[in-house]
Amino acid sequence: MDILNAPFMESFKRLTSDAFKKGWHERNGGNLTYRVPAEEVESVKESLHPAEQWQPIGNTVPDLAGEYFLVTGSGKYMRNVEIAPEKNVALIEIDAKGENYAIRWGLVDGGRPTSELPTHLAAHELKKKMTNGKNRIIYHAHPTNLIALTFVLPLEDKAFTRELWEMATEDPVIFPEGIGVVPWMVPGGKEIADASVKLMEKYRVVVWSHHGLFVCGDDFDEAFGLMDTVEKAAEICVKVLSMGGKKQTIPRDGFIQLAKDFNIDLNTELLD
Ligand code: 13P
Ligand code: ZN
């Protein structure tokens, strides 16, 4: 099958266009990567060209050797993925050492994978191991309210988690592990990759201070839903702060009761 007709390409396009309409992707902001299952790679092999040039990833990911990823291009706009995936997206292959990648399809007008590739692949490697191969998506966006909160809330896991859990009763059910916070760092390098992956050992949501949000998911719906839920909590929080702050909230015992009734493993270390 032509890769342009593959169901995974449809899902990739749907996420990028929905997310752009949400306002999370100004210009080239944000990036998306999908670890493509071997049978899906096989189903589109007629569209692939041979690996021409191997380029360094900027990180070492031995547990991803031989894997294929569908990735947004660096400097490419999320809003353009739907209309011209072949110009804005690439299918890349990882070499046998997990040190280099080669483009096997896409970016037909030139370009390279997202500058956040070292972070995405390091997170893929970790989550693949932690979920027995189920996790397939890593996704980064620039959601407005979440970024705004990084100028106001303490840049600590506990403060962010508790504040956002309080903003909607079912939020602790969606991200019971809580939220990790990376202090401000230059994007795209190994330093932010290492800091994010360290937090991804505990969480599925990581805040990049004054920059955006970084999430994972088993599939496109889960990753999009997680981004959407956290950003909606942030939006409520911004509104509450703008109205003069909380006058009442969910009590500590309420979270314990919720965890019991919904049978979730709530990270109570993040409650006071
Ligand atoms: P890319 O265009 O290289 O994906 O970078 C966008 C971005 O949001 C970096 O954090
Ligand atoms: Zn970014």
Whether 116 is catalytic is yes
Of 40, 93, 116, 125, the catalytic one is 116
Model-level pTM? 0.98
Separation of alpha carbons 201 and 242, rounded Å: 34
**What pLDDT score was predicted for residue 141?**
98
**What pLDDT score was predicted for residue 271?**
93
With a cut of 90, say whether residue 244 has pLDDT above it.
yes
Helices (H), ranges, 113-156? 117-130, 144-149
**What pLDDT score was predicted for residue 206?**
98
Percent of all residues in the chain with a pLDDT value above 70, rounded to a whole number: 100
∠ Cα 63 219 125 (to 5°): 15
Confidence of residue 143 (pLDDT cuts 50, 70, 90): very high
Mutate to test the pocket of ligand 1, among 74, 192, 209 (most ligand atoms within 8 A of CB): 74
Chain length of the chain: 272
With a cut of 90, say whether residue 131 has pLDDT above it.
yes
The H or E element spanning position 70 is: strand 68-72
For the chain, the distance separating the N- and C-terminal CA atoms, rounded to the nearest angstrom, is 54
Mutate to test the pocket of ligand 1, among 20, 25, 71, 116 (most ligand atoms within 8 A of CB): 116
Integer Rg of the chain from CA: 19
* Mean residue pLDDT across the chain: 97
Separation of alpha carbons 81 and 207, rounded Å: 25
Confidence of residue 108 (pLDDT cuts 50, 70, 90): very high
**Token pair of 27 as six digits:** 């210009």
**What pLDDT score was predicted for residue 202?**
97
Q: In ligand 1, which atom is closest to the CA atom of 30?
A: 8
User: What torsion do the CA atoms of 15, 17, 21, 23 make, to the nearest 10 degrees?
Assistant: 70
With a cut of 90, say whether residue 29 has pLDDT above it.
yes
Exposure b/e, 171-204, CB count within 10 A at least 16 = b: bbbbbbbbbbbbeebeebeeebbebbbebbeebb
Count the Cβ atoms, other than its own, within 10 Å of residue 76. Answer: 23
Domains of the chain and CATH, by start:
1-142 (3.40.225.10), 144-272 (3.40.225.10)
Segment 103-132 mean pLDDT: 97
Q: Per residue in 43-88, pLDDT tens? A: 999 999 999 999 999 999 999 999 999 999 999 999 999 999 999 9
Confidence of residue 37 (pLDDT cuts 50, 70, 90): very high
Q: Per residue in 166-219, pLDDT tens? A: 999 999 999 999 999 999 999 988 899 999 999 999 999 999 999 999 999 999
Whether 133 is in the pocket of ligand 1, judged by its Cβ within 6 Å, is no
**What pLDDT score was predicted for residue 272?**
82
Whether 187 is in the pocket of ligand 1, judged by its Cβ within 6 Å, is yes
Measure Cα distances from 183 to 26, 53, 173, 180 in Å.
22, 35, 26, 10
Confidence of residue 266 (pLDDT cuts 50, 70, 90): very high
